[in-house]
Amino acid sequence: MKYAVIDRGDTLSQSLAEQFHQLAKERGFIRNDEMPDIVVSIGGDGTLLQAFHRYFEQVADVSFVGIHTGHLGFYADWQANELHELVTMMAEQTPQIVRYPLAEIQVETPEHCFKYLALNEFTLKGVDATLVVQINVNDELFEMFRGDGIVISTPSGSTAYNKSVGGAIVHPYIESLQIAEIASINNRVYRTLGSSLLLPAHHHCDIISKKEQRLLLTIDHLSIQRSDIHSIRCSVGTKKVSFARYRPLPFWKRVRDAFIDI
Ligand code: NAP
Ligand code: MN
């Protein structure tokens, strides 16, 4: 098995990464940072986002495993003190591969078209002033949006930023994209739906810039500022991300553990 490790960079995560390499060597795993079969992320959910973006071009050929060194993570199933158990299972078991949907966007500028994939979400905000955009769903006008921003999340990202803006939590087996508002302006002149909506796979929405504006686009933990964005097409990605499961951890149990059972 070819593997790579990405750690958060703190002392505990770095030392666990060292231990992992040692145990992996004893088991005959091959370290290969360029073309791994399995990527082990050690840190938090943010570390798994970094690992995903490091390997997104190989997303169809890679499976991720997360070890958390802080609180329980949505993408990180294993605790720091379970490292030996994890390596043993990796050596002796064939994991269940669980595939989660991604979000895909195509950003159109007068000169270029950029494609991005997100594991959690994209957000769009105005840098200098209120964001003003038209939203089309499947090429039909849906609404004119004025407000702080828009969050377009994947099912597994629905527990992150999306949850903070009142979006629903979506089980990752539901292939969909959630569009949630951040502080939309609603009065007699401007009107938006006011609640978040779920688009199924094979539907798409276009966010069309309606004025000269500097836009802040975030893609998970990454961000880009541009003044020349004309429109952004959003859809459920054609590729999925794979997680290697060596033991079950039901999504709703994670939700409960993370948000309710304190
Ligand atoms: P961060 O500021 O450390 O992340 C914010 C929190 O979100 C951290 O506690 C992180 O967990 C957690 N998180 C990440 N993905 C999650 C998921 N799928 N479900 C539940 N919680 C999740 O920055 P980061 O670690 O680089 O993560 C980037 C993410 O932060 C973005 O994708 C966005 O979802 C989120 N964010 C949230 C808000 C908000 O809620 N107002 C604002 C900006 C960004 P760890 O501590 O384990 O990393
Ligand atoms: Mn973080």
pLDDT in tens, 163-175: 999 999 999 999 9
Ligand 1 centroid distance, CA of 237 (Å):
21
Give the pLDDT score at 189: 80
Give the pLDDT score at 256: 94
Query: What are the pocket residues of ligand 1 if the criterion is a CB atom closer than 6 Å to any ligand atom?
Result: 44-46, 49, 70, 73-74, 120-121, 156-157, 159-161, 164, 220-221
Mean pLDDT of 123-133: 97
pLDDT band (50, 70, 90) for residue 72: confident
pLDDT band (50, 70, 90) for residue 146: very high
Location of each CATH 2.60.200.30 domain in the chain: 102-238
Location of each CATH 3.40.50.10330 domain in the chain: 2-95+246-259
Residue 42 pLDDT exceeds 90 = yes
Architecture of domain 2-95+246-259: 3-Layer(aba) Sandwich (3.40)
Ligand 2 centroid distance, CA of 144 (Å):
33
In a 10 Å sphere around its CB, with 0-12 CB exposed, 13-18 middle and 19+ buried, how is residue 200 labelled? exposed
Q: From its phi and psi, is residue 48 left (phi > 0), alpha (psi between -120 and 50) or beta?
A: alpha
pLDDT band (50, 70, 90) for residue 188: confident
Residues 4, 16: contact at Cβ < 8 Å?
A: no
Counting residues of the chain whose pLDDT is more than 90, the rounded percentage is 95
Give the pLDDT score at 155: 98
Among the listed residues 155, 150, 237, the one whose alpha carbon sits nearest the alpha carbon of residue 202? 237
Read off the pLDDT of residues 189-227 as tens digits, 9 standing for 90 and up: 889 999 999 999 999 999 999 999 999 999 999 999 999
Averaged pLDDT score across all residues of the chain: 96
Ligand 2 centroid distance, CA of 80 (Å):
17
Give the pLDDT score at 260: 92
Give the pLDDT score at 190: 83
Mean pLDDT of 93-112: 97
Residue 262 pLDDT exceeds 80 = no
pLDDT band (50, 70, 90) for residue 71: confident
pLDDT band (50, 70, 90) for residue 73: confident
Residues 76, 41: contact at Cβ < 8 Å?
A: yes
Q: Whose CA is nearest to atom 32 of ligand 1?
A: 220
Is the domain defined by 102-238 classed in CATH 3.30.43.10? no
Among the listed residues 260, 219, 25, 258, the one whose alpha carbon sits nearest the alpha carbon of residue 114? 219
